[in-house]
Amino acid sequence: MASTFLIFAGLGFFPAMVALSASMDLLTMTIPNRLCLLLALGYFILAATLRVPIEVILLNLSCGLAILAVTFVMFALGWIGGGDAKLAAATALWMGWSTVLDFGVTAAICGGLLTFGILGLRAMPLPAILEGQAWIARLHHRRSGVPYGIALAAAGMVQYPHSHIWAAAVA
């Protein structure tokens, strides 16, 4: 059995990585590939540490690949950014089929709230004191996108305690 420290460190890895991804998206409007890759790799390391059955790992992998295929089409249509597509797929790997629908619904709700909030803020003039902050000015610009990685991260955090990997860790 893995040590308690390793289990808690492993459980904290997912929230730390999605929070970092959301922060990067907010500040730069990009989610680096290496963060999504580390998030996916972290799942396999934690699953192996917890001795999650290979069948469960393969099912979760199929979930992540399916979400990658769906989000790749969404990216190709210009509906979402490439980083958002990869973050959604890496998060789906952690969620698995049993939680991915709830994750998607939660992400849609969080994304809608985020979008309406940003559009509302964009309708107001930017205070002069904030104009010097490049990331705030970029976020306020009407032609900028929405850092949807924030919604994906929030949804992942909400659904994470319902995932199989979480259940395996706390069992």
Q: What is the pLDDT of residues 40-68, one digit of tens each?
A: 999 999 999 999 999 999 999 999 999 99
Count the Cβ atoms, other than its own, within 10 Å of residue 30: 15
Distance, in Å, from the CA atom of 31 to the CA atom of 127, rounded to the nearest integer, reads 27
Looking at residue 119, what is its pLDDT?
Answer: 94
The CB-side HSE value for 134 (13 A sphere, CA atoms) comes to 3
Report pLDDT for 2: 56
d(CA 85, CA 90): 9
166 — pLDDT class (breaks 50, 70, 90): very high
Q: 1 by DSSP, 3-state: which?
A: coil
Name the pLDDT band for 89 (thresholds 50, 70, 90).
Answer: very high
Whole-number Cα distances in Å, 169 to 4, 26, 48: 9, 31, 11
Question: In the predicted model, what is the mean pLDDT of residues 102-131?
Answer: 94
Closest CA to 169 of 12, 34, 50: 50
Where do runs of H (alpha helix) occur along 1-148? 4-28, 33-49, 54-76, 82-95, 97-122, 134-140
User: What spatial distance separates the first Cα and last Cα of the chain, rounded to whole Å?
Assistant: 11
170 HSE (CA, 13 A, CB side): 9
Residue 70 has what DSSP assignment? H
